[in-house]
Structure 1
């Protein structure tokens, strides 16, 4: 199976058929590193400041009683991470993961930012469906705040998402030098080569990568080749061979 996955990845790059954001990266993270959680915005702990109807709704929620969608959403807007998580799960259960992708992503971010990291996969999956040109900037800022905090804390799922959503014409926009350095520093700390492989494939997936991009990709692949993960190491080796073949006559 691993050989089939690597062959598919190589074919995608050779054909230039996929955008960097959709290139598969089928190497699973350690479950423990995917669950690393930090509190970005403290969760609501009291009824203070809530209108009377939301006080009743919050009491009902904690009593595991049914609460209307609108009440869950409004509680989430008042900083209640549990309400945000339940609202996301309800949207998904109602089959609205695609039609309400922005709400799923945003309220997942509220939940994750309050320490409910179990909602992070839902957040990232919804973010893949968002249009960078129409998604509200305040929501994008929330995604950045939550993902970066978890990525720099060592959450490998969040770190991979930071790589995916940074770049020209992507949700977070062009990757800054400071963010690139932080990504690579965290990748080196993780020592699995996955970040380097993801960044290299993003560079190679460009329609016409520049000499500088090819040089960066080669350096990243050489680092990924030192991974302790056999699949990542082998894929990096294969891509280096592909680069030598495909770009041998360039320049």
Structure 2
């Protein structure tokens, strides 16, 4: 029995954070892991005996050909994807950042949370015109899922990619959902980032400034005195920006 292609699994699967936080041992925000698809979990999901044997050898740290490792990774085997990404990073003569990001992404999507940091590292290096829309969409979905689960590395990357508009283009809706889902200091810090970016953009609209009001309300609720002070300073900038918008609007009316 063949497994579902990874992209289809991701579109059907419920994203599920792994490792619930406990009172005794809270999970660091950069260590939060998400399972978007189980991937390959048993030998009978593989289409051929040679891949069954290759998967067994890989699990036992035995020798596996590059071709077999890639075939396993392409079928959604997260462990094989992790090993193949590491292989490309270390041994490929002309490694493509897009390929390495993709295979680290497959590993991250199957619950290997440590892979998300490496995926982001190579996402930062890719040329979006050199990546298929399907792969870009898959990589974006992984970043978004990890960010919404509270992984701080992914949340920071999502906001950064939004303001750079690279590699996914603008991510207004995704960032708004992210801020609505997060709590605590991470939400406050990202709210400050959003507010400052909008206020420094001379093309901002009145709707953008209304969004800043909501962001600053989140930041003002922070337990951090420093965060609250920065929010107060940005409120002064917001008031000035609102006044300029009102002046411009009145001038247009006249």
**TM-score (normalised: structure 1):** 0.71
Q: Residues 202, 249 of structure 1: CA spacing in aligned structure 2 closer, same or farther, 3 A cutoff?
A: closer
Report whether the alignment pairs 1:213 with 2:214: no
Deviant stretches of 4+, over 4 Å: 237-251
SS, match of residue 38 in structure 1: strand
Q: Report the counterpart of residue 31 of structure 2 in structure 1.
A: 35
Q: Which of 56, 61, 65 is the equivalent residue of 1:59? A: 56
Q: Contact 1:183–1:195 (CA<8 Å) still a contact in 2?
A: no
Q: Residues 247, 70 of structure 1: CA spacing in aligned structure 2 closer, same or farther, 3 A cutoff?
A: farther
**TM-score (normalised: structure 2):** 0.71
Report whether the alignment pairs 1:160 with 2:152: no
SS, match of residue 154 in structure 1: coil
SS, match of residue 54 in structure 1: helix
Q: Contact 1:200–1:217 (CA<8 Å) still a contact in 2?
A: yes
Give, in whole Å, the separation in 1 of the partners of 2:244 and 2:164.
27
Give the C-alpha shift of residue 153 in structure 1. Answer: 2.6
Give, in whole Å, the separation in 1 of the partners of 2:224 and 2:88.
37
Report whether the alignment pairs 1:194 with 2:189: yes
RMSD: 3.2
Q: Contact 1:40–1:113 (CA<8 Å) still a contact in 2?
A: yes
Give the C-alpha shift of residue 58 in structure 1. Answer: 1.5
Give, in whole Å, the separation in 2 of the partners of 1:230 and 1:51.
60
> Considering only CA atoms, is the larger Rg found in Structure 1 or Structure 2?
2
Give, in whole Å, the separation in 1 of the partners of 2:81 and 2:148.
24
Deviates more, 1:229-238 or 1:56-65: 229-238
Q: Residues 246, 180 of structure 1: CA spacing in aligned structure 2 closer, same or farther, 3 A cutoff?
A: closer
Report whether the alignment pairs 1:104 with 2:94: no
Q: Which of 85, 88, 103 is the equivalent residue of 1:88? A: 85
Q: Contact 2:212–2:238 (CA<8 Å) still a contact in 1?
A: no
Q: Residues 149, 246 of structure 1: CA spacing in aligned structure 2 closer, same or farther, 3 A cutoff?
A: closer
Q: Residues 221, 134 of structure 1: CA spacing in aligned structure 2 closer, same or farther, 3 A cutoff?
A: farther
SS, match of residue 146 in structure 1: helix
Q: Report the counterpart of residue 219 of structure 2 in structure 1.
A: 224
Give, in whole Å, the separation in 2 of the partners of 1:53 and 1:231.
59
Report whether the alignment pairs 1:185 with 2:180: yes
Give, in whole Å, the separation in 1 of the partners of 2:151 and 2:51.
34
Q: RCO higher in 1 or 2 (8 Å CA, sep ≥ 6)? A: 1
SS, match of residue 194 in structure 2: helix
Residues 113-192 of structure 1 mapped to structure 2, 5 A cutoff:
113-166=109-162, 169-177=165-173, 179-187=174-182, 189-192=183-186
